[in-house]
């Protein structure tokens, strides 16, 4: 390390210490809203006034919608797996992701039951754009679209739950589905993480 | 002295309203297509999924797309989807229509909503994405 680099490092370190001192001495903590404001994402900050569910029944309704989407994802991956369009390594990943969605669905159904809600009956069949799936890239694009949407769906559900434990669980699922999306994009030759913020 | 209105002018307000109703939303449909990716966990343009399809949404009575099972709240909503109602709903679905199955905090940014609505409106006029039977049945 050169003298100049050492100086810069010390300057950065002392600046960090100063910031830490200021925050510690003022007893400040940054809420998610403040972080959103600081990062220039004002639309996230405005979300601080979001209407939240008022009852377990409203939470159950949100959970049932999420359950329906997870069940559909399981069926979509099944369609992909049976399409014969996937190479063995991609098929293996698709089956793994399908298993995750199945676990999400099972957890959501169990939670709905635990809350005293009624678990919605799955539909007899699903509509998928089968006519547009001609090769592996088509299947991956289709799956990536579902995963991308799922990230937004959970991001949009998290602020609504009356029970914050459910928000925590939904965030955990969101993280998993964001990883699916990134890996599918990577497999498609796209930038796996095309931005810093998603809503 | 009472002047009679010229008969052809009687229709002017109707024509003006019709013009407003059919005018394309002012948003950017290309940017809206990107925002529409947020909807893809539950919605598609041309077929029902967890949520109802969006082809022909503007002008459709809420809760009335054939073949989709709506929440009681949406079924009984009693309004018609317009740029205004869709904008208000998208901003905060559960606040605008308590009891909706769309458990989603909303599209907070007004520009995002405008662009999203422009995309849905444009797609509904595109027969490749919204075949006529699907675009018109929603009326």
pLDDT digits (tens, 9 = 90+) for A63-80: 999 999 999 999 999 999
Residue A52 has pLDDT above 90, yes or no: no
Is A58 found in the same domain as A16?
no
A194 found inside a domain: no
Size of interface A-B (CB pairs under 8 A): 84
Token pair in block for residue A33: 């809203």
Task: Tell me: do A75 and A144 sit in the same domain.
Answer: yes
Chain center to CA of B84: 9
Residues A144 and A95 in one domain: yes
- Compute the distance between CA of residue B82 and CA of residue B25 in angstroms, rounded to an integer: 10
Q: The complex's ipTM?
A: 0.78
Number of separate domains in chain A: 2
A33 has a pLDDT exceeding 90: no
End-to-end Cα separation, chain B, in angstroms:
45
Same domain, A42 and A57: no
- Is there a contact between B24 and B117 (Cβ–Cβ < 8 Å)? no
Sign of CA dihedral B73, B77, B82, B86: negative
In angstroms, the Cα distances linking A148 to A32, A141, A186 are 22, 10, 13
Residues A29 and A63 in one domain: no
Q: What is the pLDDT of residue A138?
A: 98
The token pair at A140 is: 């991956």
Residues of B in Cβ contact (< 8 Å) with A199: 38, 108
How many Å apart are CA A3 and CA A5, to the nearest integer?
A: 5
Query: CB–CB of A65 and B40 under 8 A?
Result: no
Looking at the structure, tell me whether residues A98 and A39 fall in a common domain. Answer: no
End-to-end CA distance of chain A: 42
In a domain, A138, yes or no: yes
The reply to whether residue A149 touches residue B102, judged by beta carbons under 8 angstroms, is: no
Superfamily of domain B27-136: Cytochrome c-like domain (1.10.760.10)
Q: Are residues A164 and A128 in the same domain?
A: yes
A76 and A110 in a single domain? The answer is yes
Q: How far apart are CA A138 and CA A84, in angstroms?
A: 12
Q: Do residues A92 and A138 share a domain?
A: yes
Whether A62 maps to a domain, the answer reads: yes
Q: What is the CATH number of the domain that holds A64?
A: 1.20.1260.10
What pLDDT band is residue B69 in, cutting at 50, 70 and 90? very high
Domain boundaries, given as residue ranges, for chain B: 27-136
Query: H helices of B23-57, where?
Result: 29-36
CB-based contact A148 B106, cutoff 8 Å = no
Least confident of A87-101, A129-143, A173-187, B125-139: B125-139
**Does B37 touch chain A if contact means CB atoms closer than 8 Å?**
yes
Looking at the structure, tell me whether residues A23 and A91 fall in a common domain: no
Cross-strand pairs, B80: B61
Task: Report CA Rg, chain A.
Answer: 22
- pLDDT score recorded for residue A18: 42
Q: Which residue has the higher pLDDT, B19 or A128?
A: A128
Residues A66, A153 contacting (CB under 8 angstroms): yes
Nearest to B62 by CA among B104, B96, B22: B96
Distances (CA, A) of A27 to A23, A30, B11: 6, 10, 67
Closest by CA to A91, choosing from A83, A99, A76, A81, is A81
Is residue B90 a contact partner of residue B113, using CB atoms and an 8 Å limit? yes
Residue A158: domain span: 52-187
Indicate whether A146 belongs to any domain.
yes
Q: Rounded to the nearest 5°, which phi and psi values hold at B25?
A: -60, 155
Q: Tell me: the pLDDT tens digits for B102-138?
A: 999 999 999 999 999 999 999 999 999 999 864 444 3
Q: In whole numbers, what is the pLDDT of chain B averaged over residues?
A: 85
Domain assignment present for A198: no
Residues A91 and A124 in one domain: yes
Beta bridge partners of B61: B80
Q: Do A42 and A65 fall within a single domain?
A: no
Is the pLDDT at A88 greater than 90, yes or no?
yes
The pLDDT score that the predictor gives to residue A185 is: 98
For residue B90, what is the nearest residue in chain A, using CA coordinates?
A: A156
User: Under DSSP, is residue B79 helix (H, G, I), strand (E, B) or coil?
Assistant: coil
Interface test with A, best of B39, B50, B112 (most A CBs within 10 A): B50
Of A48-52, A128-132, B7-11, B57-61, the range with the lowest mean pLDDT is B7-11
Taking the C-alpha atoms of residue A112 and residue A106, their distance in angstroms, rounded to an integer, is: 10
Model confidence at A7, in pLDDT bands (50, 70, 90)? very low
């Amino acid at each position: 390390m050169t003298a100049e680099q050492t100086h810069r490092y010390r300057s950065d370190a002392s600046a960090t210490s100063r910031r830490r001192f200021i925050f510690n001495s003022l007893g400040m903590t940054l809420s998610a809203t403040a972080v959103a404001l600081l990062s220039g994402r004002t639309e996230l900050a405005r979300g601080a006034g979001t209407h939240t569910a008022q009852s377990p029944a409203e939470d159950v309704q949100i959970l049932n919608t999420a359950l329906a989407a997870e069940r559909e994802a399981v069926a979509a991956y099944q369609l992909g797996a049976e399409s014969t369009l996937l190479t063995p390594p991609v098929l293996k990943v698709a089956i793994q992701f399908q298993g995750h969605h199945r676990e999400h669905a099972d957890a959501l159904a169990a939670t709905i039951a635990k809350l005293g809600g009624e678990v919605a009956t799955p539909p007899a069949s699903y509509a998928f754009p089968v006519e547009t799936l001609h090769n592996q890239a088509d299947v991956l694009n289709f799956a990536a679209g579902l995963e991308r949407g799922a990230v937004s769906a959970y991001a949009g559900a998290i602020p609504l739950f009356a029970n914050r434990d459910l928000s925590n669980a939904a965030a955990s699922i969101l993280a998993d589905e964001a990883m699916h999306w990134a890996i599918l994009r990577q497999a498609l030759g796209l930038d796996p993480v095309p931005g810093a913020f998603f809503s | 002295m009472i002047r009679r209105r010229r008969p052809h002018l009687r229709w002017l307000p109707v024509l003006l309203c019709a013009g407003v109703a059919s005018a394309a939303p002012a948003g950017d449909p290309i940017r809206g297509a990107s925002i529409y990716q947020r909807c893809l966990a539950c919605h598609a343009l041309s077929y029902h999924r967890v949520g109802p399809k969006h082809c022909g949404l503007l002008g459709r009575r809420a809760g009335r797309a054939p073949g989709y099972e709506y929440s009681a709240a949406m079924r009984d909503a009693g309004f018609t989807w317009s740029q205004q109602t869709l904008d208000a709903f998208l901003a905060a679905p559960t606040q605008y229509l308590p009891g909706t199955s769309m458990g989603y905090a909303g599209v907070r940014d007004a520009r995002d909503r405008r662009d999203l609505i422009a995309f849905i409106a444009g797609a509904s006029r595109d027969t490749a994405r919204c075949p006529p039977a699907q675009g018109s049945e929603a009326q």
